[in-house]
Each structure stands twice: as structure tokens, then as C-alpha cells.
């Protein structure tokens, strides 16, 4: 059977103070009252029965994730007791699925991306599932044709492509995974036409990815077996709490995808945006005539340009005079004001806030 696994564990520090340790960016209601997680669930609901959609998140996010997605089976929200990056999350989901369905095919997507032209996305997922079901030893990732030389995204290098039965999209052979490059390297990637942004989404047989984890990350094999053995039993949660922290903290790209053979890719012919910062909102939300991005129930701007003003509170008025390339982000207990080109220093700012006020505002 086919399943979807939504990765919803990221906190989104670069969207503070809207995103917090107990309220991640994927549940922020910034898109006409909708959350990224809800939009992701709806995209998948057209392809998968809701009972076959799992969400992996951190234990501190579990309740708000359930509240954010009506229609999601509550038990399908799996709360990781500690952060163990994507290799641990993928291994956990695959172990659970294979316990109940040894031939499970799983599509792994992330909850913090905005995707437009959803019919193209769904066709790509369908093709990947058909390809993997016909070739169970193979794994599929999804590439994005780069629109600029990003130094904040990973890349995949592809070689030849061909058509396969029951697939509308061509399927590429992946040669290499490349991590975030410097600007010179990113420009070379753009110009050679062989490199694509790594979307961080995958389709594979659950047993196949577990086999690769056992081979390339052997220290994860025994903990995952113990968790699966006790899943859906009286000591499920205690086992997860005790054993999951033993998993190595590493991404699935580093752990498996950069080493495994038989990795293929489908190019997503749709608009794909990774909401990693306030500046990314400029690619998602339509600006006003002065290039301001405003997400607020009410606003009044005078002589402002190229600025970003955000609040989730529908009844809150945002008013400003003379802003130029500034970020103003309002939450009930904290407000951020900074130049857009200084927003990369948010991590440093949060460290100072924690030093002076503890975790109250984090």
C-alpha cells in the first residue's frame, strides 16, 4: 500500500517571534488563515487516504499539529521525544510502516514548503510511486530547476533521463548530491544545466530505506528494530522515549542518499518555495505598489518601501512611517524590528535573548 509521511519537526528560528520552540513555522496562519502544514495535508489528501498519511513532529509540537490539521487521524501524529534529524525520522516512520505492511511504499514530504501548480506535484508523486512499485530497489528524489544561484539549498547532479511505463514525467539518474555551495560554485551549477535544487522529498519502499540505513548507518538498526517491536503495544511510548535518543543525529541525505546506488529523480514542474526566512515571503505573498509585503488584518503605511510587515492577529493594526528594507514581525509578547539584510543575525539575537531572559520568549 502507498503512504505519505509529512516531516513537520523544524522550528523555524529565522521566523522568530512568530515561530517558537512550541509553535513551529508550519503551523503559522500566514496564508489566508491557512498553515503550511494544512496546505501540505490537503495536497496529499488527493492522492492518499487520510488514514495513510502520517505526520512526524517533535513531542512539543504534537498537540498543535493535531489541532492544525482536522481530518488527520490523531494516532498518525508521531511525536519524536528528541530531535534526531531526518535520518531518525525516516527510519522511525519506515519501521512503523513495515511492521504493519511489509511492502509499504512511502512518499516523504516536508511541511514547510509552498508548492503551486499542485496538479504537477501530484503527477510527479504518482509517477514516483509507480516507478518505485515497479522497481522496489530504486529510490526517487525530486529536483527543482534553480531560478537563481542559491547558496542556502543543496543540489543534486543528474545525468541521463528516460521515460518509464506508467510515468508521464521523465526520470533522471542521480549522479551526486551536493551540499550548500559557495556563490561561485552555485553559479557554475546554474550554468551547466545538470544541477537541480534538492527539494528534500522522496519516494521509496520502506523496507528499501531500512536496508540502506542498516548498511550505511548500522548504529541505527538495532534501536529501530526495538522501537518497531514494541510499537502499538503497552510500552510503545516508553520504548520510544528510551530508545529513540540513541539514534545518530544526521540527515537522510548524509546518512544514505549520498552513498546509495539506484537513486533517481523527477523534476518538479511547479513553483516551489522553501519558507526559511522572512525574505522568502516576497516569493509567496504579493507585494503592494511600493514592494512592501504585508500580512496583517489591517495596515496603514506611509512612505514605506521594500519592507516586510507580518502579524497573525487578524484584529491587530500594523502602522508604519518611512520604513525602507525593514522587517517588522509582531506577536502577542514579542516584536522583531530589523533591516532585511541583517535578518541572518537572528540566531545571534536569540542567544542574547535566552542569556538575558531565559526561555520565556523562545
pLDDT tens per residue, range 55-65: 999 888 888 88
Q: What are phi and psi of 160, to 5 degrees?
A: -80, 160
For residues 354 and 362, what is the distance between their CA atoms, to the nearest angstrom?
7
**Which region, left, alpha or beta, applies to residue 117 given φ > 0 means left and ψ of -120 to 50 means alpha?**
left
Considering the domain architecture, whether residues 182 and 299 belong to the same structural domain is answered as: no
17 upstream amide cis, omega within 30 of 0: yes
Same domain as 301, residue 234: no
Provide mean pLDDT across the span 344-351: 90
* Beta strand residue intervals within 28-124, DSSP E: 53-58, 77-80, 105-110, 113-116
Report which of 100, 272, 288 is spatially closest to residue 201, judged by C-alpha positions. Answer: 272
Count the domains in the chain. 2
- CA distances to 109, 291, 300 from 112, rounded to whole Å, are 9, 24, 29
The answer to the question of residue 321 being in a domain is yes
3-state secondary structure (DSSP) of residue 15: helix
Q: What does the pLDDT average to over 124-132? A: 96
- Give pLDDT tens digits for 91-106: 999 999 999 999 999 9
**Percentage, residues of the chain above pLDDT 70:** 99
Query: What domain range is 322 assigned to?
Result: 280-357
CA distance 57 to 360: 22
Per-residue pLDDT of 187-218, as tens digits, reads 888 888 788 888 889 999 999 999 999 999 99
| Alpha carbon 36 to chain centroid, angstroms | 10
Residue 89 lies inside a defined structural domain of this protein: yes
Residue 11 clears pLDDT 80, i.e. is over it? no
Enumerate the β-bridge partners of residue 321.
Answer: 302
- What is the pTM (predicted TM-score) of this model? 0.86
Do 6 and 120 fall into the same domain?
Answer: yes
Q: Are residues 284 and 240 in the same domain?
A: no
In a domain? residue 165? yes
* Whether residue 182 is found in the same domain as residue 259: yes
| Element counts in the chain: helices (H) and strands (E) | 10, 17
Residue 56: φ, ψ to 5°: -100, 130
Q: Is residue 362 part of a domain?
A: no
Q: Are residues 323 and 265 in the same domain?
A: no
Taking the CB of residue 313, how many other CB atoms lie within 10 A of it?
Answer: 14
31-53: per-residue pLDDT in tens?
777 888 888 999 999 999 999 99
Q: What is the tens place of the pLDDT at every residue in 278-328?
A: 887 877 788 999 999 998 888 999 999 999 999 988 788 999 999 999 999
Span 235-253, average pLDDT: 94
CATH code for the domain in which residue 38 is found: 3.90.550.10
Q: Is the dihedral of CA 318, 293, 334, 114 positive or negative?
A: positive
Contacts of 171 (CB under 8 A, 6+ apart): 127, 131, 140, 161, 162, 163, 164, 264, 265, 266
- Give the chain's length: 362
Q: Read off φ and ψ for residue 117, nearest 5 degrees.
A: 60, 60
From 217, 250, 274, give the residue that closes a domain: 274
b/e for 166-201, b at 16 or more Cβ within 10 A? Answer: ebebebbebeebbeebeeeebeebbeeeebbbbbbb
The reported pLDDT for the residue numbered 6 is 95
What cell numbers appear for 175 in the block? 549522479
Give yes or no: residues 172 and 97 share one domain: yes
Q: Does residue 270 share a domain with residue 286?
A: no
Residues 22 and 171 in one domain: yes
Q: Strand 2-7 vs strand 195-205: parallel, antiparallel, or unpaired?
A: unpaired
**Percent of the chain beyond pLDDT 90?**
55
Alpha-carbon distance of 63 to 70, in angstroms, equals 12
For 67, the enclosing helix (H) or strand (E) is: helix 62-68
Q: How does 123-159 read in b/e, with b if 16+ C-beta sit within 10 Å?
A: bbbbbbbbbbeebeebbbbbbbebeebbeebbbbbbe
* Residue 1, pLDDT score: 94
224, 156: one domain: yes
Residues 261 and 326 in one domain: no
Query: Is residue 242 domain-shared with residue 296, that is, in the same domain?
Result: no
Q: Is residue 336 part of a domain?
A: yes
Amino acid at each position: 500500500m502507498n503512504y505519505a509521511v509529512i516531516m513537520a519537526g523544524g522550528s523555524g528560528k529565522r521566523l522568530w517571534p512568530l515561530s517558537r520552540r512550541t509553535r513551529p513555522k508550519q503551523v503559522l496562519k500566514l496564508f489566508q488563515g491557512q498553515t503550511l502544514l494544512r496546505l501540505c495535508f490537503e495536497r496529499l489528501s488527493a492522492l492518499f487516504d487520510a488514514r495513510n498519511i502520517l505526520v512526524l513532529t517533535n513531542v512539543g509540537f504534537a498537540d498543535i499539529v493535531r489541532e492544525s490539521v482536522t481530518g488527520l487521524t490523531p494516532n498518525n501524529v508521531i511525536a519524536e521525544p528528541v530531535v534526531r534529524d531526518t535520518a531518525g525520522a525516516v527510519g522511525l516512520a519506515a519501521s512503523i510502516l513495515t511492521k504493519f505492511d511489509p511492502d509499504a511504499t512511502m512518499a516523504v514530504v516536508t511541511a514547510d514548503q509552498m508548492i503551486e501548480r499542485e496538479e504537477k506535484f501530484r503527477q510527479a508523486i504518482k509517477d514516483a510511486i509507480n516507478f518505485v512499485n515497479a522497481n522496489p530497489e530504486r529510490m526517487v528524489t525530486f529536483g527543482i530547476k534553480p531560478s537563481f544561484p542559491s547558496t542556502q539549498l543543496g543540489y543534486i547532479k543528474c545525468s541521463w533521463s528516460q521515460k518509464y511505463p506508467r510515468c508521464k514525467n521523465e526520470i533522471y539518474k542521480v549522479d551526486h548530491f551536493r551540499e550548500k555551495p559557495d556563490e561561485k560554485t552555485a553559479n557554475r551549477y546554474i550554468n551547466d544545466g545538470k544541477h537541480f535544487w534538492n527539494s528534500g522529498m522522496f519516494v521509496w519502499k520502506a523496507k528499501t530505506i531500512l536496508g540502506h540505513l542498516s548498511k550505511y548507518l548500522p548504529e541505527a538498526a538495532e534501536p529501530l528494530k526495538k522501537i518497531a517491536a514494541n510499537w502499538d503495544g503497552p510500552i510503545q511510548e516508553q520504548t520510544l522515549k528510551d530508545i529513540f535518543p540513541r539514534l545518530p543525529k544526521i540527515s537522510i541525505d548524509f546518512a544514505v542518499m549520498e552513498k546509495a546506488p539506484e537513486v533517481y529523480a523527477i523534476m518538479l514542474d511547479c513553483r516551489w518555495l522553501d519558507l526559511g526566512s522572512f525574505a522568502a515571503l516576497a516569493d509567496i505573498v504579493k507585494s503592494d505598489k511600493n514592494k512592501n509585503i504585508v500580512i496583517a488584518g489591517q495596515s496603514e503605511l506611509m512612505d514605506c518601501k521594500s519592507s516586510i510587515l507580518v502579524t497573525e492577529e487578524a484584529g491587530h493594526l500594523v502602522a508604519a512611517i518611512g520604513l525602507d528594507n525593514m522587517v517588522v514581525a509582531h506577536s502577542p509578547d514579542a516584536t522583531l524590528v530589523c533591516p532585511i539584510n541583517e535578518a541572518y543575525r537572528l540566531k545571534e539575537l536569540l542567544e542574547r535573548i535566552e542569556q538575558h531572559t531565559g526561555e520565556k520568549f523562545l
